[in-house]
Amino acid sequence: MKKNNMVAMILAGGRGSRLFDLTKKVAKPAVHFGGKYRIIDFPLSNCANSHISTVGILVQYESILLSSYSAHSEFWGLDSKGGGVYVLSPREKDETGLGWYRGTADAIYQNIDFLDQEDAEYVLILSGDHIYKMNYEKMLQKHIESKAEITIAVQEVTMKEATRMGIMNVDKTDRIVEFEEKPAHPKSNLASMGVYIFTYKTFRKYLKEDAKDHNSAHDFGKNIIPAYIKDGLKLQAYRFKGYWKDVGTIDSLWESNMDLLNEDNKLDLFDPDWKIYSEDTNTTPQCIGNKAKINNALITQGSVINGEVTHSVVFTGAKIGEGAKVIDSVIMNNVVVGQNVVLNRCLVADDVKIPDGMKLGKKNSKEILLVSKAYLAKVGGTHE
């Protein structure tokens, strides 16, 4: 018997097109983050720390690397007897042939047999591309105490941000009375974090009904949640006060990395009581040269620093050449920054080699420059 009888399902099938070259061959949840992690390490570590032993990862686009990585349950301590990480791909349908997951609800519906097999009492639905730390056991406790059929994690945002998010309107007990998807004139600022707990018996019934509806988008926000509200079932909001960010764009991915350098960093990757687990890469120690200058930076193992690094995050195996200046930038795995290169507000993709003397990015730019192999091939020289 599982400790809390809750199975987690991580939706990791998004195309991630707003991350451009970073996700051309890699699923968004497999993108590197914070020096030594991948984005999916966060929901998986949250599950491990919350004593959830069984996790299904629903993959779709560019799933090869993500699937092989996620199969290593031992990275997150999820290889215990009776548990583990299970990679769940779209099924072949007799009547239509091989089909994609048609939406968030359809992705879960296609794996009802997995949930039945696990004898789930509660199902935790997560996104694979969010950076945060959350104790799901506390959320489950709220779900049970409130006798809700769905509990949705919410966070307060600005009213401007609310116009581009799913917004929960609640009563004085935080019971959800209305759901609005990207409202032009939001009635509240409680935004859905894409973290849901469903009581499975009822959830199963609604999934099967939705699957039969040919007019449905098979989506939680558009179809499942409104159906629950229409039928008068109880939905509860769970207010989350900690750090949370959807890293679906280059700017938000850069911002989340930069947040790690803040003195009041709420994510706190160094917290021994809530560790973020990842692959333990077999690499050399970091090397700081005698001409290196480092100020407020996160430098990961295997990196070699011979230039200046200021307010930046340097990932595993990156090399910064002599005379180079890296400022307000994210340098991803195995990047080589040549001599006398100047980088300002850049996010440099894995395995990129920047030739000597190049100047990329602008100090006061409103947008972050993604430096990829394709970008360097396009510019072919200095970009300021």
Is the residue at 276 inside a domain? no
Rounded distance between C-alpha atoms, residue 328 and residue 311, angstroms: 5
Say if strands 330-331 and 313-314 run parallel, antiparallel, or are unpaired. parallel
CATH number of the domain enclosing 350:
2.160.10.10
Is the residue at 268 inside a domain? no
Looking at the DSSP bridge assignments, the partners of residue 37 are 33
pTM across the whole model? 0.92
Which residues constitute the domain of residue 317? 287-379
141-148 long-range CB contacts below 8 Å, 24 or more apart? 142/236, 142/238, 143/197, 143/199, 143/236, 143/238, 146/175, 146/234, 146/236, 147/234, 148/175, 148/199, 148/234, 148/235, 148/236
| Together in a domain, 39 and 88 | yes
Q: Decide which of 259, 278, 297 is a domain's last residue.
A: 259
Is the separation of the CB atoms in 56 and 9 below 8 Å? yes
Kindly state the tokens that stand for 180.
Answer: 């609005």
| Together in a domain, 247 and 323 | no
First to last CA, the chain: 60
Is the residue at 282 inside a domain? no
| Together in a domain, 41 and 115 | yes
| Together in a domain, 241 and 373 | no
| Together in a domain, 202 and 351 | no
| Together in a domain, 51 and 101 | yes
The tens digit of pLDDT for each residue in 235-247 reads 999 999 999 999 9
CATH number of the domain enclosing 132:
3.90.550.10
Q: Decide which of 222, 243, 259 is a domain's last residue.
A: 259
pLDDT of residue 4: 55
Rounded distance between C-alpha atoms, residue 360 and residue 354, angstroms: 10
Domain count, the chain: 2
| Together in a domain, 131 and 177 | yes
| Together in a domain, 40 and 134 | yes
| Together in a domain, 249 and 292 | no
| Together in a domain, 27 and 106 | yes
Is the residue at 346 inside a domain? yes
Is the separation of the CB atoms in 359 and 384 below 8 Å? yes
pLDDT of residue 81: 61
The tens digit of pLDDT for each residue in 55-76 reads 999 988 877 888 888 888 888 8
| Together in a domain, 156 and 230 | yes
Is the residue at 273 inside a domain? no
Is the residue at 145 inside a domain? yes
Element (H, E) at 142: helix 136-146
Give the residue among 160, 228, 166 at the shortest CA–CA distance from 195: 166
For 245-264, give one letter per residue: b (16+ CB within 10 A) or e. Answer: ebbbebbbbbebbbbbeeee
Is the residue at 279 inside a domain? no
Tally of CB atoms within 10 A around 228: 22
| Together in a domain, 142 and 40 | yes
Is the residue at 277 inside a domain? no
3-state secondary structure 233-264: CCEEEEECCCCEEECCCHHHHHHHHHHCCCCC
Q: pLDDT of the chain along its 384 residues, tens only?
A: 345 589 999 998 767 678 989 998 888 999 999 999 999 999 999 999 999 999 999 988 877 888 888 888 888 888 776 688 998 888 765 554 446 788 899 999 999 999 999 998 999 999 999 999 999 999 999 999 999 999 999 999 999 889 988 999 999 999 999 999 889 999 999 999 999 999 999 999 999 999 999 999 999 989 999 999 999 999 999 999 999 999 989 999 999 999 999 988 889 999 999 999 998 877 889 999 999 999 999 999 999 999 999 999 999 999 999 999 999 999 999 999 999 999 999 999 999 999 999 999 999 999 999 999 999 999 875 444
Q: How many residues does the chain have?
A: 384
